[in-house]
Amino acid sequence: MLKKYKTWQELQKYLRTQNTIEELASFADKKGIKKNPYSIKKSGFLIQNLIEAYICRDMIGDKGFYPVINQTDITLKKAIETLSEPQISKR
């Protein structure tokens, strides 16, 4: 079913309509890992991003992985911000 999505944007949009965090938590619970709603609430966005990134990699390859995973990369965002600032020449 996921093969019909040709770009990471389309695939990520679809994945965001799915309840992947809850499905992962239920799967883990069945395997003996107790569900922790506090941790899911605290880290849910990052977990969701990782799930989406790895699914995009499986379906589209690295061209789907990096744009998704980089959405939550704080270091990358800071580097882009720093490099975007006007450089002041010190003479």
Q: What is the pLDDT of residues 37-79, one digit of tens each?
A: 999 999 999 999 999 999 999 999 999 999 999 999 999 999 9
- In terms of phi and psi (left: phi > 0; alpha: psi -120 to 50; beta: otherwise), the region of 36 is beta
- Predicted confidence at residue 87, as pLDDT, reads 76
Render 54-87 in DSSP notation, one character per residue: HHHHHHH-HHHHHHHHGGG-HHHHHHHHHHHSPP
Q: What's the pLDDT at 86?
A: 83
Give the Å distances, CA to CA, from 34 to 37, 44, 57: 10, 16, 28
Q: The pTM is what? A: 0.80
Where does the pLDDT of residue 90 fall: very low under 50, low under 70, confident under 90, or very high at 90 and above?
low
Q: What are the residue boundaries of the structural domains of the chain, listed by start?
A: 7-81
